[in-house]
Structure 1
Amino acid sequence: MPEIIATALATPGLVWLLLTIAAAGIVRGFTGFGTALIFVPVAGIFLEPAHVIALITLTGVASTAALLPRAWGQAERREVGTMGLAALVTVPVGLWLLTLLDRDTVRWIVAGVAAVTLAALIAGWRYRGQVAVPGLLAIGALAGVLGGLTGLTGPAVILFYLAGQGAAASVRANTILFLAMLDVVVVGNLLLRGAVGLDTVVLAVLLSVPYFLTSLMGQALFDPRHERLYRAAAYAVIGLALVTGLPVWE
């Protein structure tokens, strides 16, 4: 066991990973999203894509424990459950694609997905119609593929909810609940594939400590009256992580 802990402490870029996950926790706490958009581009500098996906999903358990109790009562559970069922089917597709692509290709996909998501949010794109069950299934399916391939479990659903007209508290709760469901699905698939070793679990536990604490801080800061401030702060942090994680800097 001491050797496993020593291996985790020797992880390349550990200090940056800890700082990044701490910042992501604050953003996740007051917006309900943003962890993967912040952590994955930076972690990809130091770690292989499969390792990054395992870490971000395992670490997500920490924020789920901190945020889910409040979100459960505010979320539209039937709607979120519909998307979750679709994601359950498509996560293995994303993990399969991951085995076919090299590291830099995956990093560019991460950068592209994050950039499109951020651009759409900043531009204020809005969908004013009603999404029926087929639409919810399609959104969930896309989220599953992206989650399995890149670890970015949230962009498809984030765009769906933040582009709509829902209140900040409802959007936040729905997003938290869906991401919690998808984390469970991705982790389950990784375990079935034998892709999660004890060393990864130990590192995830290490990262979970600052993440859990800062998620609680972010939740304490959340006030629906300051929705614009929260979104602006989240966009700035996501943008910084995106630019920092681009493969062109290496």
Structure 2
Amino acid sequence: MDQITLICTAVFAAAVLRGLTGFGFALAAVPALSLFLDPAQAVTIAILLQCMVGLRDLALMRKLVQFRALGLMGAGALIGTPLGIWGLTLLPADVMRLVLAGIVGIGLAALILKTRLPPGPGPAIGAGFASGLFSGLAAMPGPPAIAYFLGTETPAKQTRASLMVFFFLTSLIAMPGLWLTGRLHAETFTQALIAFPALLIGTWAGGRAFEKLGEGGYRTAATALLGVTAAVTATRGLAGLL
């Protein structure tokens, strides 16, 4: 199986989870792509794809999006993202895989513990900062954002829509940093462009499955996704270091 086929397969599988949960794409795509690509390249492809699909998500889901929360989270992400991109340039590939596993594990713990957050702008800004840090480091802004929306008991439909649009915002914020650090080049952009139809088809398939989930089913699917992703990524990183 050639590299382009592997990329499209990984993107499609991750996109199904994205359509199902609203946050599954980078959590699944980056670890999967990093099995046969450099992790930094996998991060860049994921960010490019989320930028490509973001305007479509905003147009389709604008009535469900929690824009006030996203504004506060976006402000935090503006600070955290450059720090994450700086870390991306320093970490070796296998250490990066362990970092990815740790990031996914944070999201898993938040779901299991059903974290409750106090009212006010502070938690939203803090979640945005952490999401920006994780976005720049691993194209994975999901775990802190997921913890925030579940902690404020936002309904599943609004959580899913808000997460999709938030990831578009964090991807846009990350683009200048990727360019400045030399991560954006013709080969990576071409790979993302070729995989884009797989992202659209997978998101549509996952959205059909989401329609059949209730609130409890949504939480269960999210928990299972994070657990599997963390285990696979940690195993790959440890194998490389040992």
Provide the TM-score with structure 2 as the length reference. Answer: 0.88
Partner of 2:156: 168
SS at match of 1:88: helix
**1:143 matches 2:131:** yes
Superposed, which structure 2 residues align to 1:59-138 within 5 Å?
A: 59-121=49-111, 123-127=112-116, 129-130=118-119, 132-138=120-126
Change (3 A) 1:167 1:50: same
The answer (yes or no) to whether the contact 2:102–2:230 under 8 Å persists in 1 is: no
SS at match of 1:22: helix
> Structure 1: which 5+ residue stretches go unaligned?
1-8
> Structure 2: which 5+ residue stretches go unaligned?
none
Change (3 A) 1:10 1:199: farther
Partner of 2:45: 55
1:117-160: per-residue Cα shift (whole Å, max 9, x none)? Answer: 12331x24230531x22332221111111111122121111111
SS at match of 2:19: helix
Partner of 1:156: 144
Partner of 2:215: 227
The answer (yes or no) to whether the contact 1:86–1:144 under 8 Å persists in 2 is: yes
Range with bigger deviation, 44-53 or 195-204: 44-53
Change (3 A) 1:78 1:107: same
Q: 1:213 aligns with which of 192, 198, 201?
A: 201
**1:39 matches 2:37:** no
Number of residue pairs matched? 238
1:17-37: per-residue Cα shift (whole Å, max 9, x none)? Answer: 322221221221132111111
SS at match of 2:89: helix
SS at match of 2:29: helix
Quote the offset at 1:219 in angstroms.
Answer: 2.3
Range with bigger deviation, 222-231 or 149-158: 222-231
Q: Distance in 2 between matches of 1:125 and 1:143?
A: 18
Change (3 A) 1:139 1:234: closer
SS at match of 2:166: helix
Percentage of pairs with the same residue: 27
The answer (yes or no) to whether the contact 2:19–2:210 under 8 Å persists in 1 is: yes
1:195-228: per-residue Cα shift (whole Å, max 9, x none)? Answer: 2001000101122111111112222333376232
Quote the offset at 1:10 in angstroms.
Answer: 5.0
Quote the offset at 1:65 in angstroms.
Answer: 4.2
SS at match of 2:217: helix
The answer (yes or no) to whether the contact 1:62–1:211 under 8 Å persists in 2 is: no
Q: Distance in 2 between matches of 1:102 and 1:78?
A: 37
Letter in 1 for 2:42: V
